[in-house]
Structure 1
């Protein structure tokens, strides 16, 4: 006979879900007044296919259908950015709640005591909820592609866990597959989810886990075939392969992974458009990093059962970065939002270490944990302020990337829209100087001087003269 869970266990699970969600609401709510930014204009504001449900339906079949449906639903209810951002915050709150629940179970299966497993899971969920690197997937509306897909992945993992020891295993496994399909329909990088399920269940008999994974593996194969049948995905794949060779990309990503790992520590270094170097030939730094990353992966694979927390942290981090930061080249080498799911592994490792200190240091633990959480909350609040206006957003981005012509051009556009024409001219000229082949900046400079720059409200700017 299966014993009923204790009242204390139910209480732990309740707070593991509720507290991170409440923290998300409290910390992110002030960001609701922020404006649309960057890709928001292309994929939401100026994209008629997401302005109504009918328009969305007529645009199908297409890529990321569920993501676009969420935009269409938002636009139907309220086209202002506040409605979109409310949904993003709710998605993040749900994900944080799921992280706490899932990591508690993983901790118990890794041999942690119930108290340590619960405390570590709660701390990891709070680190996930509060880290400023998450602003690019939450405050940045277009970052929903990462956060919504991640939420469905976590829901799928939750169903997977429930299916392992439930009398309704088939129903839970079917729900797992359904959430997997929804995740891929939001963002195609979710296709790696079956490998994450295999990693999560590393303590279980491998043959049994692989047998249970077969429906998801078959579903993954079907979705790959469907994706490759769509012309848009084939075109994007061609563009990716033409961007740089796979060898060049591996060298480039060896440095990008090091940068992304550092972003988890540099909490005041949020960067919307980092200009990371493209490595076209083997050098000592890239070679060293490639060997180091390969060695870390081998060590983690060999210690999946011996060191379940450390190996899980490493493999989870690298697994969720693999679709964007390994073989297939991208125009942008790396972005902070790629860390949204990946950071769960390092966060859990840190949380387990912090909650497992020797009793002689136990008095320092609450103060240290509180300091870290307060610092993350402050950094997230500060980062969210940058999203308030386009000028603030692009001034920060241009200051962090002084050699980035795209940032200079976009800052020029933000200045022009605010009728700051002389500042706009200076930024367009700087963008042309940084990248003479950047025809966007050249055209914008010419149109600005002629008073024909699109997006500028001439009535509002009638008292601002261009000299």
Structure 2
């Protein structure tokens, strides 16, 4: 049975509709532009000289994520302020929202929707994708660009893939698809699952024809894997990943992490920059049952991909884009919101179709519910963006949501110290030590603070006596030998190599033992 024709890209109405999500993104994120650098931003951008100019970037090559670092170097050379970086992030998100509209509009017609209905569903889905607060970690959080920029190249590649199915210039479009794929992988390695995404998108097409068209993409995948494994840095990172925890323990852990990530789609006020999710080291009934559930769900939707094109696509797309970070290979951080960036597309498409297809509700009621939902998402996103205003607001929120996190307490202490609030800083460093007595970072920071030598706090215009808080009260339970042997001077060196094995192992601190970087993912 022949497939329905593609909606014309040149259609003026569709073109105007495609701009709506982009405009919505810019308006919604406008207030977030003045926010400060946060968390990984300091290690991977502000204090990494390799991304401070194009010449420095070129000298640092070959290296990991070259295209991401190239974007940082371009950004830094144009403007080294957080505003400049965040403007680019927002524009990337706006582009992605537009591409999501077009791709879902096409997919909707191929799933049997009439063009008008497919356009309405795609528009609502693109707006849900654009305005959902879970996306702030890939947009407002500058280092989250690794997710949004890689997604942009993936969506461009998918766009070219779709065009290659119907165009007279199929070969040219397929070459462009491969180029977009290569760019996505050069931005973030998780894009290696794109060939599977292309297959899922084209599940309505003849299998043999799709596999034949996929061959150059699959060959490119193999080539990029070989190239990555030829680089010592990638091999070392793989070793560190496999040493983090066993594969069985990681599968058990991720069976629960997937529940958390799925819940983030509906918990609009639960944004968490550093969620403390449990690591499951031994087999337990709940984790096994959840693992069986996810596996059964995966097999079920694969079998129904043709008979239930929207629902099966939504679930399979969601699981597919979480697979690189939340399945087999262990990560120090069990889960983060930015991993949902592309995965969100499937669920929002399904929700949009269900909402706009309610037969028992009037048209005005359906649109009213849609407007209400978009309003709730926008409010939640604005509230979440306010958290990024300063380092203090960022870490106060993170510490409140994770009261047992020594990393959050240490980083909040550093934020207080930089703001010359020494008593509050000391209290947070001490709380971090209480939460994790084996973690020396807060001890080093506390000792340096007691000496008035904590890097970052030198600018405080106070007297020497005011800067030196009572050493006795601040260093209680903090043996001086431990601090000295811990290498206090060494921690004053420039920031660790972004995403390096050392940074991954010592996840949670950056320059001057500030506790900035998570390191497991930029």
TM range (shorter): over 0.9
Q: Distance in 2 between matches of 1:370 and 1:235?
A: 49
Q: Offset at 1:8?
A: 11
SS in 2 for 1:212: helix
User: Any residues of structure 2 matched to 1:68-147 within 5 Å, and which?
Assistant: 68-147=69-148
Residue 425 of structure 1 is matched in structure 2 by: 426
User: Any residues of structure 2 matched to 1:62-461 within 5 Å, and which?
Assistant: 62-358=63-359, 360-461=361-462
Instruction: Give the direction of change, closer, same or farther, for the CA distance of 1:8–1:402 in structure 2 (3 Å limit).
Output: closer
Q: Distance in 2 between matches of 1:335 and 1:191?
A: 19
Q: Distance in 2 between matches of 1:45 and 1:65?
A: 17
Residue 17 of structure 1 is matched in structure 2 by: 18
SS in 2 for 1:341: coil
Q: Distance in 1 between matches of 2:291 and 2:448?
A: 46
Residue 30 of structure 1 is matched in structure 2 by: 31
Instruction: Give the direction of change, closer, same or farther, for the CA distance of 1:189–1:348 in structure 2 (3 Å limit).
Output: same
Tell me which protein shows more helix as a share of its residues.
1
Instruction: Give the direction of change, closer, same or farther, for the CA distance of 1:8–1:454 in structure 2 (3 Å limit).
Output: closer
Q: Offset at 1:280?
A: 0.7
Instruction: Give the direction of change, closer, same or farther, for the CA distance of 1:42–1:340 in structure 2 (3 Å limit).
Output: same
Answer whether contact 2:68 2:146 (CA < 8 A) is retained.
yes
Answer whether contact 1:34 1:82 (CA < 8 A) is retained.
yes
Summarize deviations over 1:27-55 as a string: whole Å, max 9, x none: 01110000000000000000000001110
Which runs of 5 or more residues in structure 1 are unaligned? none
Summarize deviations over 1:267-308 as a string: whole Å, max 9, x none: 100000000000011112111111110111111011001100
Q: Distance in 1 between matches of 2:407 and 2:27?
A: 34
Answer whether contact 1:419 1:456 (CA < 8 A) is retained.
yes
Q: Distance in 2 between matches of 1:6 and 1:27?
A: 29
Answer whether contact 1:16 1:121 (CA < 8 A) is retained.
no
Summarize deviations over 1:145-170 as a string: whole Å, max 9, x none: 00000000000000000000100101
Q: Offset at 1:360?
A: 4.1
Answer whether contact 2:356 2:367 (CA < 8 A) is retained.
no
Q: Distance in 2 between matches of 1:376 and 1:370?
A: 10
Instruction: Give the direction of change, closer, same or farther, for the CA distance of 1:24–1:6 in structure 2 (3 Å limit).
Output: closer
Q: Distance in 1 between matches of 2:39 and 2:9?
A: 47
Answer whether contact 2:412 2:425 (CA < 8 A) is retained.
yes
Instruction: Give the direction of change, closer, same or farther, for the CA distance of 1:8–1:63 in structure 2 (3 Å limit).
Output: closer
Answer whether contact 2:9 2:15 (CA < 8 A) is retained.
no
Q: Distance in 2 between matches of 1:7 and 1:121?
A: 15
Q: Distance in 2 between matches of 1:234 and 1:4?
A: 46
Q: Distance in 2 between matches of 1:50 and 1:10?
A: 41
Select between 455-464 and 383-392 the one with higher mean Cα deviation.
Answer: 455-464
Summarize deviations over 1:160-195 as a string: whole Å, max 9, x none: 000001001011000000000000000010000000
Instruction: Give the direction of change, closer, same or farther, for the CA distance of 1:7–1:110 in structure 2 (3 Å limit).
Output: closer
Alignment length, in residue pairs? 465
- The TM-score, its normalising length taken from structure 1, stands at 0.97
- CA-based RMSD: 1.6
SS in 1 for 2:395: helix
Q: Distance in 1 between matches of 2:265 and 2:31?
A: 23
Summarize deviations over 1:80-138 as a string: whole Å, max 9, x none: 11110010001000000000000010011011122221111000000000000000000
Q: Distance in 1 between matches of 2:381 and 2:117?
A: 27
Q: Distance in 2 between matches of 1:360 and 1:141?
A: 41
Select between 390-399 and 7-16 the one with higher mean Cα deviation.
Answer: 7-16
Select between 121-130 and 15-24 the one with higher mean Cα deviation.
Answer: 15-24
Q: Offset at 1:450?
A: 1.1
Q: Offset at 1:462?
A: 4.4
Which runs of 5 or more residues in structure 2 are unaligned? 471-522
Q: Offset at 1:459?
A: 4.5
Answer whether contact 1:132 1:376 (CA < 8 A) is retained.
yes
SS in 2 for 1:454: coil
Runs of 4+ in structure 1 off by over 6 angstroms are 3-9
Summarize deviations over 1:316-358 as a string: whole Å, max 9, x none: 0000000000000000000000000000000000001011110
Answer whether contact 2:121 2:356 (CA < 8 A) is retained.
yes
Answer whether contact 2:37 2:82 (CA < 8 A) is retained.
yes
Instruction: Give the direction of change, closer, same or farther, for the CA distance of 1:360–1:46 in structure 2 (3 Å limit).
Output: closer
Q: Distance in 2 between matches of 1:226 and 1:25?
A: 38
- The TM-score, its normalising length taken from structure 2, stands at 0.87
Q: Distance in 2 between matches of 1:33 and 1:462?
A: 31
Answer whether contact 1:12 1:118 (CA < 8 A) is retained.
no
Q: Offset at 1:364?
A: 1.7
Answer whether contact 1:50 1:71 (CA < 8 A) is retained.
yes
